[in-house]
Structure 1
């Protein structure tokens, strides 16, 4: 049980930034950007490349975030200049970045070896202590990132970003530049993916050209799982969004880690991801209706006469 928990946290905490970025695009902009698949890999590839050449960890991670953000801006440019949907522009970028990432890595996968990473100082510690210190470092990065995004969403810029997603026409009438909001959203989402890629590469010790495959779908599934637990709404909407992202990401990773612990092969994880996404969609679709139905049944059980009178009135009105 302890190993299940630590494996889930070590694998899940680095993904919190990219899932937060996917939330911004899917729930706030109500769109899908497949660029994040390539940006996740690009962030990891740039980090591995620069660390291998002796560049310090902060600068390597900054380069990873900046490179991924540029990818998001290119997607925005394709959408605005060619008037193609964001999802198609993202697909084009994702395909193109497959070649770019292979060029950056030089081969399909590379090991970080003994190069300096965030976790290099933990190498000589006992495995259990090393795992929990790794979790503490990852949790610190994830917490600072989520707090920064939460603060941004409460600022005037964040409110404008949220307004364009809810009603772009009304936002434009209030003087909000929809194109700038889109550029900000996609750049931030892909920068988040780059940060996740950089953290993932350092925690697992290697970079792979296929690491980002399926990132968008996995992130959407994580968002939906989180919304089942903490539905955003009300005065504390931003706080509940952050909780939903964190809970959903860790639940998603728990499913995958549990599947591996149960004896499934790593090649089965794509199927598990698909099933998890389908289950999340189904639960989001039908669970609220089931809750309302059970609530009506409970009310009828407590007040049978009132329920019968309401039913009779409805029939007479029909």
Structure 2
């Protein structure tokens, strides 16, 4: 095969999750429902946090940013998939593919950082309650989000620019429902050693540090809660972190599941299905986890929903 540089490549082809026309139709409605549930659920979380003055705290500030990020991440991947299924067209333009890679990396990285910031917030709330308002002030919380956005965008742009140097052969089929960096690199004709080293290095650095921060925060939280003498105090302490811990386990659990699946199976389709678990499912489930396990959020959502008829 003769390699072609990016100027000769006009489009790639996303093979999706299946070639079966009947399953394609089922997937369209399934992903449409998932997308609508993700948008509606996360939008309600944002509106509830903004409209209720009792929720104007660092925890709900981070939660609002997480919900907004989940909306953006789902919008980056699912609509294109739905359009392709409906139009019976698997193509995505070269620029569209690179752009999708960039945005997916931005929002996945940002999700990672926001979860770490939320873990630190819970650590300060449980382990240093008297200093909570001083440490987790508005300026510091805003700085954490701004720094997370800056690092995530910088990392995504570096990876995207490194893809631009790659040449591609005649086989331009990506066995996925969206343009994923690892999948795109596998179909290139260029030497990808530098790309792969950079991917593993940045993943270890930008993924490992927040994860270690989360582990440290919860180690300290558990240690602090276990020292509380009363059973009621221990329950309240764990309840404070229950929703966030569930979201963390869901996100990192699915990411680990994708990695294990990619290592033990040679089937690109199975890997694509596994990838769906971290790029689609956590974003839909996060609002349900927080609304079902959090009394303050349930109360705010009830007030918001009761207020909707009067606004119509």
Q: TM-score, normalized by length of structure 1?
A: 0.28
Q: TM-score, normalized by length of structure 2?
A: 0.29
